[in-house]
């Protein structure tokens, strides 16, 4: 296939100061849960991006000094020369594919507590740190400012020594000290670094000048600026101070990287924003500077990318999440394989990796974060090591991924689905408010499977044990999913809730199948992810008075890890959903729901015609258990392996279901159990002696 000429503009080289990017695809800085703790894994991850055609590949935040320690989060570090080799390893991986390596050095200022180093945080003025902790940052004096400039300059020089091509000055996300100096509500200084905007910009200007002086003859200097905090005139706004900041510094850096601040505003999920949503806020920048501009907007469509360039909004198509979902997005556009792009669904499960300090993961791309420790590649998979066919039962996210991975390995694959629609839980959940883009999980896999001659798909095929035994498959993969419990058992209740056995008890499965309750309705959310909130939205769409009761302190509590907790709470409040936190449901009878306060233990009642319980799920594992009990028959039928994957094995996220299916298919012909994955261990320079 050949590239569509409409997209030629995306592959034009662009100069950034002293360096040249080979095309307009720019992987902007993004966290990954690995940081300084896993340099080999991180180098492999970034290297795959470069291999996939991204002209510029950036690090995440890289701390420049022990007073900028964001433990327990795993970010990058460039405190001293000892940190250079780990970062140089990433540079090597990126340069191996003719891409530019960029580093986002920064100081967190009043955004972190320095839990690891136990240093006092720094800020322009005395302020608590931005996260809820009993820690305040101290106001910097002039010597502190001079030290900060020296730390940043030293880090820039180290970055150059490590081989980086672009060095950042970071002023966005409410996470950097440069941004804190810009913010009038946080900078109340009365010297030349505070007061009017020109004074508040002074530190940013000085750091840019210092950085250019230190590395500018070989490295480009980029500025990442948050152009709107979405809090109105009390913050930085795109049509206010951000406009003036860019105008003051327009030609000083070699590149402007512009976005929204904070991270929750910048990385909005598809539930709350569409592709290109940041254009309204960032489009002014190119009118003020001749320097190249990169911006983001969860871009997945080549037409949208071209539009941004041709209309003079951006020079580079910036991406973090789309580059995670498909590291080979640029190559696929270049080769005319648009249908092969694995589009980001905007679920932000990737963001949760940073908050949990674990390897980066992605719902669409199961290989993300496993490039080094498991040797997984997003576009290549080992050929099968044995003969035989594979029967996959269940075409949900786990079954679709298992079928696709096995087929790509060269197996003859048969995929059986009991219903008429493929997709399982993805098909059902994507019909709920705000989750339409999640259907991409199904659509991409079905599209790939239909291209393969070694795949057969059987719809409306309810498979019984004897069908499996007579089919003739060598490997059988059960991916029959899970169903929501109706008895209220979950985290809070270890036994069935009294009264949760009548016709007025509903689960998300009922709602997704179109069966709506009578109102008023009470939702018992002991799941704490997205489901309780979207079910509440669906009930309000149907005009039902709705109350959401949760044992947690906030609605959809786990979505703090996907940057959605506050937007969800705001949306539900706007829809008139009453939220009752710190409360368990302990009974239901005669339209009366019994509630128990987690704070006082007091019992109260609330009227409701129906209850929707969102607590836990049970695997649909009957077929597996029936087959497992017939071990002798399996051998006679020539079945070498029988396994469960996805929610049928252990109910979890869609991301985990996809990963489970992929992992099993990769190991179908393994000689034995999976070896312990590679680990990155601290190097011990001192000798030690074993003592018996």
Q: Tokens 């512009």, residue?
A: 258
Can you give the pLDDT at residue 681? 82
In tens, the pLDDT along 406-416 reads: 999 999 999 99
Can you give the pLDDT at residue 691? 45
Same domain, 105 and 164: yes
Same domain, 30 and 68: yes
- Domain boundary at 301, 336, 356, which? 356
- Check which CATH number belongs to the domain holding 529 and give it: 3.50.50.60
Same domain, 313 and 338: yes
Identify the bridge partners of residue 580 per DSSP, sorted by sequence position.
549
Same domain, 164 and 246: yes
Domain presence at residue 674: no
Same domain, 11 and 57: yes
Cα 410 to the chain's mean position, in Å?
Answer: 31
- Check which CATH number belongs to the domain holding 441 and give it: 3.40.50.720
Mean pLDDT of 394-408: 98
Residues in the chain, overall count: 692
Same domain, 476 and 510: no
- Domain boundary at 302, 332, 356, which? 356
Domain span holding position 533: 484-618
Strand (E) or helix (H) holding 20:
strand 19-21
Q: Tokens 């300090």, residue?
A: 357
Q: What share of the chain is helix, strand, coil (3-state, %, to 5)?
A: 35, 20, 45
Domain presence at residue 247: yes
Per the CB < 8 A criterion, the answer to whether 399 and 393 are in contact is yes
CB atoms under 10 Å from CB of 437, counted, come to: 20
Same domain, 419 and 339: no
Query: What share of the chain has pLDDT > 90, as a percent?
Result: 94
Can you give the pLDDT at residue 131? 82
Can you give the pLDDT at residue 673? 67
Mean pLDDT computed over every residue of the chain: 96
Domain presence at residue 370: no
Per the CB < 8 A criterion, the answer to whether 9 and 3 are in contact is no
Same domain, 467 and 521: no
Can you give the pLDDT at residue 692? 41
Same domain, 194 and 297: yes
Domain presence at residue 458: yes
Same domain, 202 and 68: yes
Model confidence at 132, in pLDDT bands (50, 70, 90)? confident
Task: Kindly list the distances between the CA atom of residue 102 and the CA atoms of 169, 602, 634, in Å, as whole numbers in the listed order.
Answer: 11, 57, 55
Task: Kindly list the distances between the CA atom of residue 195 and the CA atoms of 124, 129, 183, 187, 190, in Å, as whole numbers in the listed order.
Answer: 11, 21, 10, 8, 6
Domain presence at residue 25: yes
Alpha-carbon distance of 211 to 222, in angstroms, equals 10
Number of domains in the chain: 3
- Domain boundary at 313, 335, 356, which? 356
Per the CB < 8 A criterion, the answer to whether 28 and 104 are in contact is no
Can you give the pLDDT at residue 216? 85
Domain presence at residue 372: no
DSSP 569-623: HHHHHHTT-EEE-SEEEEEEETTEEEEEETTT--EEEEE-SEEEEE--EEE--HH
In tens, the pLDDT along 351-378 reads: 999 999 999 999 999 999 999 999 999 9
Same domain, 531 and 451: no
- Check which CATH number belongs to the domain holding 223 and give it: 3.20.20.70
Can you give the pLDDT at residue 563? 97
Can you give the pLDDT at residue 689? 47
The candidate with the shortest Cα–Cα distance to 368, out of 98, 49, 29, is 49
Domain presence at residue 689: no
Domain presence at residue 379: no
Same domain, 502 and 522: yes
């Amino acid at each position: 296939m050949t590239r569509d000429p409409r997209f030629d503009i995306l592959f034009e080289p662009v100069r950034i100061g002293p360096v040249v990017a080979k095309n307009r695809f720019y992987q902007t800085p993004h966290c990954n849960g690995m940081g300084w703790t896993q340099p080999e894994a991180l180098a492999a991850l970034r290297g795959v991006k470069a291999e996939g055609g991204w002209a510029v590949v950036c690090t995440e935040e890289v701390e420049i000094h022990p007073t900028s320690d964001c433990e327990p989060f795993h970010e990058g570090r460039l405190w001293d020369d000892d940190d250079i080799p780990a970062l140089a390893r990433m540079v090597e991986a990126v340069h191996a594919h003719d891409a530019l390596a960029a580093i986002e050095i920064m100081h967190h200022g009043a955004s972190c507590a320095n839990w690891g180093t136990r240093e006092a945080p720094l800020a322009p003025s005395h302020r608590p740190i931005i996260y809820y902790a009993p820690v305040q940052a101290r106001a910097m004096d002039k010597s502190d400012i001079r030290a900060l400039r020296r730390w940043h300059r030293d880090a820039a020089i180290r970055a150059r020594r490590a081989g980086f091509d672009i060095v950042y000055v970071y002023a966005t996300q409410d996470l950097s000290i440069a941004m804190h100096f810009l913010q009038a509500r946080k900078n109340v200084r009365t010297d030349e670094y505070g007061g009017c905007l020109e004074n508040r910009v002074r530190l940013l200007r000085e750091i840019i000048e210092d950085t250019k002086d230190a590395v500018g003859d070989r490295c480009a200097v980029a500025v990442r600026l948050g152009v709107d905090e979405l809090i109105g005139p009390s913050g930085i706004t795109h049509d206010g101070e951000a406009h003036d900041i860019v105008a003051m510094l327009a030609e000083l850096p070699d590149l402007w990287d512009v976005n929204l601040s904070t991270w929750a505003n910048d990385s909005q999920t598809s539930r709350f924003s569409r592709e290109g949503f940041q254009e309204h806020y960032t489009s002014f920048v190119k009118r003020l500077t001749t320097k190249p501009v990169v911006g983001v907007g969860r871009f997945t469509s080549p037409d949208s990318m071209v539009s941004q360039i041709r209309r003079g909004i951006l020079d580079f198509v910036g991406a973090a999440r789309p580059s995670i979902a498909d590291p080979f997005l640029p190559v696929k556009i270049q080769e005319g394989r648009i249908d092969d792009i694995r589009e980001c669904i905007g679920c932000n499960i990737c963001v949760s990796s940073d908050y949990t300090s674990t390897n980066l993961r992605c719902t669409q791309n199961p290989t993300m974060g496993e490039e080094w420790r498991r040797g997984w590649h997003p576009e290549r998979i080992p050929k099968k090591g044995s003969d035989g066919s594979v029967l996959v039962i269940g075409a949900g996210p786990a079954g679709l991924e298992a079928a696709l991975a096995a087929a790509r390995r060269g197996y003859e694959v048969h995929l059986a689905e009991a219903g008429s629609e493929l997709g399982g839980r993805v098909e059902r959940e994507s019909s709920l408010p705000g989750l339409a883009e999640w259907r991409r999980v199904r659509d991409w896999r079905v599209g790939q499977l239909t291209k393969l001659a070694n795949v057969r798909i059987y719809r409306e095929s309810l498979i019984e044990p004897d069908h499996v035994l007579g089919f003739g498959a060598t490997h059988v993969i059960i991916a029959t999913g899970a169903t929501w419990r109706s008895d209220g058992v979950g985290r809070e209740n270890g036994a069935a809730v009294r009264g949760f056995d009548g016709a007025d008890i509903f689960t998300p499965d009922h709602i997704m199948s179109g069966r709506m309750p009578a109102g008023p309705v009470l939702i018992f959310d002991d799941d704490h992810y997205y489901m309780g909130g979207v079910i509440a939205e669906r009930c309000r769409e149907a005009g039902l008075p709705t109350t959401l009761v949760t044992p947690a302190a906030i609605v959809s509590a786990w979505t703090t890890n996907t940057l959605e907790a506050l937007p969800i709470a705001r949306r539900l409040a706007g829809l008139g959903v009453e939220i009752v936190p710190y409360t368990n449901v302990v009974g239901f009878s005669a339209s009366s729901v019994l509630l128990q306060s987690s704070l006082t233990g007091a019992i109260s009642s609330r009227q409701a015609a129906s209850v929707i319980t969102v607590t836990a799920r049970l695997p649909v594992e009957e077929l597996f258990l029936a087959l497992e009990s017939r071990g002798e028959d399996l051998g006679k039928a020539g079945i070498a392996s029988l396994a469960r994957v996805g929610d049928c094995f252990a109910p979890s996220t869609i991301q985990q279901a996809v990963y489970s299916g992929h992992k099993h298919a990769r190991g179908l012909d393994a000689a034995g159990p999976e070896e312990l994955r590679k680990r990155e261990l601290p190097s011990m320079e001192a000798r030690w002696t074993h003592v018996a």
